[in-house]
Amino acid sequence: MILNRFLIISFLALQFLTFLCGCSEDKDNEQQPATENKVVLLHGAGATFPAPLYQKWIVEYQKNHKDVAISYDAIGSGAGTKLFISEQVDFGASDSAMNDEQVSKVSKGVQLIPATAGSIVLAYNIPDLGGRLRLSRELYVDIFLGKIRFWDDPRIKKENPNLQLPSLSVVTVVRSDSSGTTWAFSNHLSSISKLWREQGPGTGKELDFPGNAMFGSGNSGVSTKIKHSWGSIGYVEYGFAKRAGLDMAILENKAGNFIEPNESSPTETLANTYAQMPSNLRLFLPDPDGDTSYPIVTYSWLLLYKQYDNKEKWEKLRGFVRWGLLEGQKFSSDLGYAPLPPAVAKSALKAIKAI
C-alpha cells in the first residue's frame, strides 16, 4: 500500500515537472519570433514638395521589407532641416539642400542626395478665361512684385489677346511656412530680375511678399487657397497643382520660348545640366539653358548623416534610399515628378557608398 502511494505521488510529481518544463519551452518559443521579427524604426521630416512621392515609396518598400517601419513628416524644408541639424530625425528632406553654414553645424557630417526633381508652376484661378494664360518673364516677376493689380492689365492683354481677361484683382498666394519651394521660386526670380534681387524680396525660404498676398501652409495649402479664390495665382509644385485640377500658366524660358508645364518638361532640363553637377551633389537650376527647358525646375534632396551611430539603422535606411533611387523612380511621372537621369542616380548611389 505504501509502495503504491509512493509510486502514485512520484508519477504526479513527474507530470507536474513535465508541465512546468513545457510552459517554459512555450514561453521561449513565444519570445523567439519577437527577436527574429525585430522592426527597425526610421523617422524623417522636411519638404512638402516631394512628400507624395516619398510616402508612395514608403508604402511600396514596406510591402516587401517587414523589418523596417518608416515615417515621414511633411513639415517644410526649413523645419525639417532644423530637426536634422539637431539630430532629432534619421533623415531630412529639403528643396533648397543645405548651405555651408548649416552643414558646418552637423558634427556627424552631411551627405546631400538628390532624390527627385520637379517643376514649380504658376497655378491660377481666373473664371471663364477661355484658354491657357501665357506669362512672359517680366510679367510674372511684376505680378509677384505687386506691380500688376488687375487681370485685365494692358500688358497681360497684349500677351494674351484671345483670352477673356476680367477686371478682377490679382491676388498672389505664397507660403506661410519656411519652404524650399519658396527658396527655389525666389532664387529663379532673383536670377532673372535685378529689381527682384536688389529691391524686392530677394531669395529665401521665408519672404515678405509685396502686394495683395494670401498665405498657405505647404504646397497643399497653397493649392487649396488658389482653388477657392477667384483672381488668385500662386507658385506650387506641379504634382500638387495637377492633383488639385488647377490651371497652370505657360511660362517664357531663358531662350524666349513659352513652355507648357507637364510631366516630361523637367526631364530634359535635368539631363542637359548634369555636367554642372558638383561633387557635393548640390546643384541649383535657377534659370536653365535650353530651347525646350522649363524655366523653374528644382532638385529635392534627402539629407543624410555621413556617420550613423546605429549600424543596423543605417543599413535599413541605406536599403530604402537605394531602392528609391532605383526602383522608386518609376513612380515619379504618375505623381508629377521628374525621374532622375541615370547619371544623376549613379552619382547619388556612389555617394551613399561613402557613408
- Which pLDDT score, from 0 to 100, does residue 273 have? 85
Q: Estimate the crossing angle of helix 137-144 against helix 180-192, to 10 degrees.
A: 120
Instruction: Please indicate, yes or no, whether residues 140 and 270 belong to a single structural domain of this protein.
Output: yes
Q: pLDDT digit string (tens) for 214-264?
A: 999 999 999 999 999 999 999 999 999 999 999 999 999 999 999 999 888
Q: Of the candidates 70, 69, 73, which has an alpha carbon nearest to the alpha carbon of residue 83? A: 73
- pLDDT level of residue 271 (50, 70, 90 thresholds): confident
State how far the alpha carbon of 193 is from the alpha carbons of 137, 265, 294, in Å.
9, 23, 17
Instruction: Please indicate, yes or no, whether residues 131 and 102 belong to a single structural domain of this protein.
Output: no
The answer to whether 42 touches 317, Cβ cutoff 8 Å, is: yes
- Which pLDDT score, from 0 to 100, does residue 290 have? 86
Q: pLDDT digit string (tens) for 181-199?
A: 999 999 999 999 999 999 9
- Which pLDDT score, from 0 to 100, does residue 274 have? 87
Specify the CATH number for the domain of residue 97: 3.40.190.10
Instruction: Please indicate, yes or no, whether residues 123 and 254 belong to a single structural domain of this protein.
Output: yes
Instruction: Please indicate, yes or no, whether residues 72 and 133 belong to a single structural domain of this protein.
Output: no
Non-local (6+) Cβ contacts of 194 within 8 A are: none
- Which pLDDT score, from 0 to 100, does residue 27 have? 40
The answer to whether 304 touches 355, Cβ cutoff 8 Å, is: yes
Residue 210 has pLDDT above 60, yes or no: yes
Instruction: Please indicate, yes or no, whether residues 108 and 131 belong to a single structural domain of this protein.
Output: no
Residue 9 has pLDDT above 70, yes or no: no
Bridge-based pairing state of the strands 297-305 and 40-46: unpaired
Instruction: Please indicate, yes or no, whether residues 159 and 271 belong to a single structural domain of this protein.
Output: yes
